[in-house]
Structure formats: C-alpha cells, structure tokens
Amino acid sequence: MSAQAVEHLSKADAVLAQLIRAVGPRRPEPPSDCHPFETLAQAIAHQQLNGIAANSILRRLIESCGQGAFPTPQMILAASEASLRGAGFSFAKIAALRDLADKTLAAVVPDAATLRQLSDEEIIARLTQVRGIGRWTVEMLLMFQLGRPDVLPVDDFGVRAGFRAAYGLRRMPKPRALAAWGERWKPYRSTAAWYLWRALELERAGTLPLPAQRIRLPRVKRTRRARRRKASAGRAHRKSAPRGRLTRAAVSAARPRRSGARMRSHRRRGPRSRAPGSKK
C-alpha cells in the first residue's frame, strides 16, 4: 500500500515527489485498536491542554470513576459533577463527556465493529454530533486508529504549514483551496498529509528542498456563509471608522499631491497664456 501510494503521489505532483525523495519512504504504524467512546473521551480531556496535564486528568478519572479501568458510559453518567471536577474536568468538558456517554448509549456513537463498516463521511457525520467533537478530531481517529488511506485534514495547522513550506508559498493556503489541490492525491491523501507534516521537520532542520516548480492554487468560490461573514466584517468596519475631521484628513492625505509648478499654476488668476500665433 505504501509503495503504491508513493508511486501515485510522485506521478500526480512534482513538488510532492521532491518532498517524498527528501523524506524517504514512509513506515506507517499499524492502526491501534479503536474504542470510540474511550478515544473520544480522551480527545475531550486533551482539548486545550498539553499531553502531561491531560494524561493526569485521565488517570484521576480512571482511579475515581472507573475504579482502575477506563469508565463506561454508564459510570460517567452516574458520577457526580464534584467527582468529575475533582479529576480535573472543566464544566464545559463535563458537559461534553456526558453528551458523549448519552450518545454512545443511544448508538449515535457506534461500537468498534459497526464503526469499521461505515464510510469516512458517515463516521464524521455521526461522531461530530457529540458536543465538543469537531471534524479534525474525527479525522485523526480515521487516520491513526482506523488506518483510513484517503483522509486530508485541511484544517490542521501542520498540514497547511507544511504545504506552504514545501510549495514555497508566501501565505498559508486556505482549507478549501488545499482541498481542491489535494484532489489529485486521491486515493492516498492520508499519505500526502503525512509527508506535509514531515516538511515542517525538514524546514526546521534547514534541509527542505526548494520546490521543483511554482504553483498557483485553484481559486475557490466563497460559500454563502463566507460571503455573509465578509459583508458583516465590512459593516462592522464602517461602524467603527472614525468620523468628522479625522476621516476628512485621512481622505486628504490619501490624495496624490500636486507638484509645486502645478500648484502655482492653479493659484494664478486670469486667462491662461497662449502660444504665439494662436487664435484668440
């Protein structure tokens, strides 16, 4: 699978082919066992925290609520708010944890066997119904626990920054433009994302090669939501713009100034001088 992915990506994209040669072959780790409830509960604990702090919270949750094992959904719902707060969960994370437990018991969050039978988009649609679980979290589950080969997390900062570095762009690519460019990487977009993460490592080490060619990202039409957001920002800017003298001064300063000769000509009164021999 890895050799096929590398061959396909190298033929489809010259810049990515150069990055693949610089990084070397990918040695993917085998997918780990996926227990959806436990995986998502751990993701909730890790939100906005470093790994050490999050693991400490999970250890206290196992000791207090799970009695030495990872708690079941029933245990989470039966636990008091005080005990969950004592483990280190914020009120928002407690609400997310209990919503996860509810939706697991209601089979919105499927068990591991059912999960493996669903398509990527079906899994994303179901798991993102849980409070506090976004698309990126589910994409990481798809890539690293289910081993799905065609996932491109376009909202991931590392993927976007790696693309900017590898392709020699001045700015970070917009997620929708990156998604449009990544269409050529199908059906191995997970491998492409892995190499883009490695591009950042090469950039930090000073060994990232210059891009083989300049590219232009496809122009993607703004969605209706993006247009409304831009219009709203424009209205807010106009409301906050200074009025009165400051505005007139800014407009005056923005106008091109006339040269001294033209200024003197403009101030001169009377008829303009005529060339010799011209008719009056």
CATH number of the domain at 194, please: 1.10.1670.40
Judge whether 33 counts as a catalytic residue.
no
Q: Residue 8 domain-assigned?
A: yes
Range of the domain at 75: 36-144
Q: Which of 122, 117, 143 is nearest to 39 (CA)?
A: 143
- State CA 146 to chain mean position distance: 21
> Does residue 263 sit within a domain?
no
Answer yes or no: do 22 and 73 share one domain: no
**Does 48 share its domain with 119?**
yes
Q: In terms of domains, do 165 and 99 share one?
A: no
Distance (Å, whole) CA 140 – CA 157: 13
Q: What is the pLDDT of residues 73-128, one digit of tens each?
A: 999 999 999 999 999 999 999 999 999 999 999 999 999 999 999 999 999 999 99
This prediction has a pTM of 0.76
Residue range 230-242: average pLDDT?
A: 55
Given 99, 150, 155, 156, which residue is catalytic? 156
Q: Cβ(3)–Cβ(119) under 8 Å?
A: no
- Are 108 and 140 members of one domain? yes
Residues 93 and 108 in one domain: yes
One DSSP character per residue, the chain reads -HHHHHHHHHHH-HHHHHHHHHH----PPPPPP--HHHHHHHHHHHTTS-HHHHHHHHHHHHHHTSTTSPPPHHHHHHS-HHHHHHHT--HHHHHHHHHHHHHHHTTSS--HHHHHHS-HHHHHHHHTTSTT--HHHHHHHHHHTS--S----TT-HHHHHHHHHHTT-SSPPPHHHHHHHGGGGTT-HHHHHHHHHHHHHHHHHT-PPPPSS---PPP-PPPHHHHHHHHHHHHHHHHHS--THHHHHHHHHHSPPPPHHHHHHHH--SPPP--TT---
Summarised one tens digit per residue, pLDDT across range 149-200 is 999 999 999 999 999 999 999 999 999 999 999 999 999 999 999 999 999 9
The count of domains in the chain is 2
